[in-house]
A = this chain, B = another copy of it.
Amino acid sequence: MTSPHPRFDIPPDLNVEESYQLPFNMHDGKLHVLIGATGSVASIKIPFIINKLFEIYGDRVDIQVVFTKNSEHFVNPGKLLQSVGGQYATPGAAGPAHHPAIHSCPSGEDFSLPDMKINIWRDNDEWRLFRNRNSPVLHIELRKWADILLIAPLSANTLAKVANGLCDNLLTSVIRAWNPQFKILVAPAMNTYMYSNPVTKRHLDVIRDQMPWIQIINPIEKVLVCGDIGMGGMAEWANIVDRLVQELGGDDDSTPTESSAPLSSVESFNPN
């Protein structure tokens, strides 16, 4: 479906015009889900998560996605948009991909439900939107807009930035400036050896102790892309959606979706 007023925008190296309006609405009464994608293979699950949320909530939900630069090796923003029904705002607006080799969304799935339109944001958009003192500050506006932030997957590197307070890109700036009255759900996903490195526990402990608004969806044991077997794989995407729905409410019955794997596998590690 081609929307007459597409809400999507990955613009080129130019500044947006003075007349540019942020393509989202603070007060439309919808549920506002902000999704963060990081440089883990599990980012290929993001289209499934988005799809399911539209399936559950229909047009009562609005979704925006913030990409880290490295996440684009795993999800192609352009293809994600195609698959969920969005489009570019203007001819040529896509701009060059960060990386020449961009991997497509999972194929063989029909994501083309009508009205699935999402906004995708990349680091450079912060600066493109900033023209003068009265310009919107993107990481602040996204935080104000969002009812919840889901980071799935959360890479080891972005986990380290969060625990250490670094904010050198759009996603970590949103996190650093988060309003603690709202929740952040994070689903770590990493190689088993990365996960069992003591520094991971240190970071997760910092989050549990000092940032109670961030909730950790524990990883699970699985065969990882690198061939290693063990703890560290991202929780099943369907379980991640369930957790999100539990936090967000507003679905018809607020019970786990049919397609969910048993929740126990999500909770098996570190139950406190």
Contact = CB atoms under 8 A, between A and B. Distances in A.
29 contacts: A14-B100, A15-B101, A44-B133, A73-B127, A101-B127, A101-B128, A101-B130, A101-B131, A103-B132, A136-B226, A137-B225, A156-B167, A156-B176, A157-B167, A157-B168, A157-B173, A160-B165, A160-B166, A161-B166, A164-B164, A164-B199, A165-B203, A176-B197, A177-B191, A177-B193, A178-B193, A180-B193, A199-B210, A199-B211
A194 interface: yes
A246 interface: no
A107 B232 CA distance: 47
A193 B143 CA distance: 10
A211 B165 CA distance: 18
How many copies of this chain?
3
A200 B165 contact: yes
A228 B163 CA distance: 24
Contacts of A166: 157, 160-161, 164, 166
A88 B221 CA distance: 40
A256 to B, nearest CB: 27
Interface in A9-45: 13-15, 41, 44
A208 interface: no
A92 interface: no
Given A101-B15, A176-B156, A226 B165 contact: no
A202 interface: yes
Q: Which of A13, A128, A164, A200 has the most CB of B within 10 A?
A: A164
Given A140-B191, A165-B200, A178-B197, 19 more contacts: A13-B100, A14-B100, A15-B100, A101-B128, A101-B130, A103-B132, A133-B225, A140-B226, A156-B176, A157-B166, A160-B166, A160-B167, A163-B165, A164-B164, A164-B166, A165-B197, A176-B197, A177-B191, A177-B193
